[in-house]
Amino acid sequence: MAKVVVAMSGGVDSSLAAALLKREGHEVIGVTLRLWPYQEPDQERERFGSCCSPGAVEDARQVAHQLQIPFYVINVEGEFSQTVISYFIQSYLQGKTPNPCLYCNSLLKFGSLLWRARGWGADFVASGHYAEVGYDPGRGRFLLRRAPDHLKDQSYFLFNLRQEQLAHLLMPLGGLRKAETRMLAAELGLKVAAKPESQEICFIPEGDYRQFLRQRASTEIKPGKIRDVARRVRGEHAGLPFYTIGQRKGLGIAGNRPLYVVDLDAERNEVIIGNEEDLWSCELLAEEVNFIPFETLSEEMEVLVKIRYQHQGARARIFPLAEGTIKVKFAEPQRAVTPGQAVVFYHGELLVGGGIISGSNRWPHERAGNKG
């Protein structure tokens, strides 16, 4: 049996992960990472509604007590601020739409926590993610596969994990469906069995990321011009971070046809708008690419591609370019390809890898550098 540190958020998934590992006979230690202050000086209410709040920590503590396992809260506010929060703000200032969960997973949950756990003599870190990790002796590599429940599958958020992380990672819920998770949690008498899921970004109160950016980066957010794809000035914007690809509401510009944000030009501090057809792309470029079944992509490969978490996936071919960069060519154009979001590749149920979208070829205009 192994010594396992379980990242416990106070929700049903991580709680059941701890319970299942304990039932299997492992030596289990529960840990909650305190990522963000519970309160800020001018706030009387809890900073978080459901994640990392005092209530969530108490839920995790009570589950650990019920399971009779040690439980600790580790303050990683500084690390979280310097990595995830900084990345989140800088991405928006650069005209990108980031996904902070990617870096929280790779740098904190399966980075910093794993480093600590190994220092404590633990063999593994475990989480309540819905994905399957395993070892392929033929390849000599650890692999990730999608969970059977594709609606809950979270492999999309794990594409950037490295081999040394996967080697010490357990995901006991990987083969379960969400209904089975709640049923098992109820059977085991876990108090969080019926606890609602958290869907929002954990450090954004009430989902208002714009207000968060105003508080954190107000001096760096500048108004600028709104142009159409023909480069004609159509209005003024309040700040590049307040817009995202595909946005229709809040533009304040009348037209004969619906208008959408189709690009964010950080170099010129301009929002580019266009019609529905301007949102569709047949290619994209990705950077910060990581592959799991192999080290590097040496030739083109046919894959299923997801360009956002809820995307159903599209057939495409991927092509190696410079180190750490690839081109994705879709079999059919895709709508609202968004720089800053993850693009993740699958071959059947196997997660091949992924990267961060850096640009696409939505329409022919002077910013040819985005065309790949």
Question: pLDDT digits over 44-57, tens only?
Answer: 344 444 556 778 89
**pLDDT at residue 261 greater than cutoff 80:** yes
So what's the pLDDT on residue 225?
A: 97
So what's the pLDDT on residue 207?
A: 79
User: What mean pLDDT comes out for the span 31-51?
Assistant: 60
User: What mean pLDDT comes out for the span 238-265?
Assistant: 93
Q: How confident is the model at residue 94 (pLDDT cuts 50, 70, 90)?
A: very high
**pLDDT at residue 307 greater than cutoff 80:** yes
Query: Distance between CA 133 and CA 200 in Å, rounded?
Result: 26
Q: Which of 21-35, 91-105, 202-216 has the lowest mean pLDDT?
A: 202-216
So what's the pLDDT on residue 35?
A: 86
Query: Distance between CA 360 and CA 307 in Å, rounded?
Result: 12
So what's the pLDDT on residue 54?
A: 77
CB within 8 Å of 195: residues ≥ 6 apart: 10, 11, 12, 59
Mean pLDDT of the chain: 91
Cβ count within 10 A of residue 7: 25
> Helices in the chain by DSSP H: which ranges?
12-23, 54-67, 77-80, 86-93, 100-103, 113-119, 163-166, 178-187, 209-217
| Active site (catalytic) residues | 104, 202
Q: Which of 19-23, 107-111, 198-202, 261-265 has the lowest mean pLDDT?
A: 198-202
Q: Answer whether 202's CB lies under 8 Å from 48's CB.
A: yes
Q: How confident is the model at residue 361 (pLDDT cuts 50, 70, 90)?
A: confident
Q: Which among 275, 203, 208 has a CA at the least distance from the CA of 242?
A: 208
The encoded tokens of residue 163 equal: 């081999």
Q: Answer whether 36's CB lies under 8 Å from 77's CB.
A: yes
So what's the pLDDT on residue 70?
A: 98
Reported as a single tens digit per residue, the pLDDT across 171-210 is 999 999 999 999 999 999 999 999 988 767 888 867 789 9
So what's the pLDDT on residue 289?
A: 97
So what's the pLDDT on residue 323?
A: 79
Domains of the chain, earliest start first? 3-207 (3.40.50.620), 222-274 (2.30.30.280), 280-370 (2.40.30.10)
The encoded tokens of residue 78 equal: 């500084």
The encoded tokens of residue 40 equal: 């800020």
Reported as a single tens digit per residue, the pLDDT across 109-163 is 999 999 999 999 999 999 999 999 999 999 999 999 999 999 999 999 999 999 9
Residue with tokens 């895709």: 334
Q: How confident is the model at residue 354 (pLDDT cuts 50, 70, 90)?
A: very high
**pLDDT at residue 82 greater than cutoff 60:** yes
Q: Which amino acid is at 18?
A: A
Angle at Cα 201 formed by Cα 200 and Cα 207, nearest 5°?
60
Give the pairing type, strands 301-306 and 342-347.
Answer: antiparallel
Q: Alpha-carbon dihedral of residues 320, 323, 324, 327, nearest 10 degrees? A: -30
So what's the pLDDT on residue 202?
A: 81
**pLDDT at residue 42 greater than cutoff 60:** no
So what's the pLDDT on residue 74?
A: 95
pTM: 0.91
Query: Distance between CA 371 and CA 119 in Å, rounded?
Result: 46
**pLDDT at residue 305 greater than cutoff 60:** yes
